[in-house]
C-alpha cells in the first residue's frame, strides 16, 4: 500500500475572532494614546506604535478580552500541532500602520515560538501578508512550489504562525490605512521539561 507523508508542513492558523466589537474597542482605546513613528533604519516602510520594540504594547495597555481570544485560539492551533499549551509570555506586541505606499520587509520573528497578527482595519487591496517557503531548495525543483503564498484577511481576522516563518506585507495601494496588531509568544521551557 502506497502513501504520501506531508513532512515538515508549515501550519498557519487563520480565523475570525469571536468577540470582535469588544476587541475593536480595546484596540481603539490604545490607539488614542499612540504616536506612530517609522523605524529610521528601515527606511520609509510603515509606522509603528514603538519603532524601538523596547516596550510591549500588552504591557503598556490592557487588552483582557483580546488576550483571552488569543489564548483560546492558541490552544486550538497548538492542539492541531499535537502540542499542549502550558505557560507562555507575550514577548513583544505592537500596532503597525500602513498608509498608501507603505509595505513590510521580508523578515521573521526567530526569537518567538508563535507569532500572530490581528487585522484591526483593512480593505481588500491595502497590502496582504505573504509567507515565503521555508524550503530554500524547493525553488529550483519543478514539481515543488518554492515561492510565496499570500493569505488575504479582512478586518477581524487573526493569524498565528511559527515565529521562524519568513513573511512580508505587500504595499498598500489604496488611500485607506491598514492597521494591524502583532505579537510574539514565547513558551516557558521549564514548564515543558521532564521532572
Domains along the sequence of the chain with CATH: 13-188 (2.60.120.620)
- Least Cα distance to 165 among 121, 135, 124 occurs for 135
For strands 178-187 and 47-48, give the pairing.
unpaired
- What does pTM read for this prediction? 0.93
What is the C-alpha separation between 137 and 75, in angstroms, rounded?
A: 32
pLDDT recorded at residue 194: 67
Tens digit of each residue's pLDDT (9 = 90 or more) over 54-98: 889 999 999 999 999 999 999 999 999 999 999 999 999 999 999
Tens digit of each residue's pLDDT (9 = 90 or more) over 14-28: 999 999 999 999 999
pLDDT recorded at residue 163: 97
Amino acid at each position: 500500500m502506497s502513501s504520501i507523508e506531508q513532512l515538515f508542513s508549515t501550519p498557519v492558523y487563520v480565523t475570525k475572532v469571536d468577540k470582535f466589537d469588544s476587541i475593536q474597542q480595546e484596540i481603539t482605546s490604545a490607539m488614542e494614546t499612540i504616536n506612530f513613528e517609522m523605524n529610521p533604519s528601515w527606511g520609509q516602510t510603515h509606522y509603528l506604535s514603538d519603532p524601538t520594540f523596547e516596550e510591549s504594547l500588552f504591557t503598556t495597555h490592557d487588552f483582557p478580552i483580546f488576550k483571552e481570544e488569543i489564548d483560546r485560539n492558541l490552544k486550538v492551533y497548538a492542539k492541531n500541532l499535537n502540542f499542549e499549551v502550558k505557560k507562555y509570555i507575550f514577548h513583544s506586541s505592537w500596532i503597525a500602520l500602513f498608509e498608501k505606499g507603505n509595505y513590510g520587509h521580508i523578515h521573521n520573528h526567530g526569537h518567538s515560538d508563535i507569532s500572530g497578527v490581528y487585522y484591526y482595519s483593512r480593505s481588500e487591496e491595502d497590502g496582504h501578508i505573504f509567507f515565503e517557503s521555508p524550503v530554500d531548495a524547493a525553488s529550483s525543483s519543478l514539481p515543488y512550489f518554492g515561492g510565496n503564498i499570500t493569505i488575504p484577511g479582512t478586518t477581524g481576522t487573526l493569524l498565528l504562525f511559527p515565529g521562524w516563518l519568513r513573511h512580508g506585507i505587500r504595499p498598500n495601494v489604496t488611500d485607506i490605512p491598514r492597521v494591524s496588531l502583532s505579537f510574539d509568544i514565547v513558551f516557558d521551557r521549564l514548564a515543558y521539561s521532564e521532572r
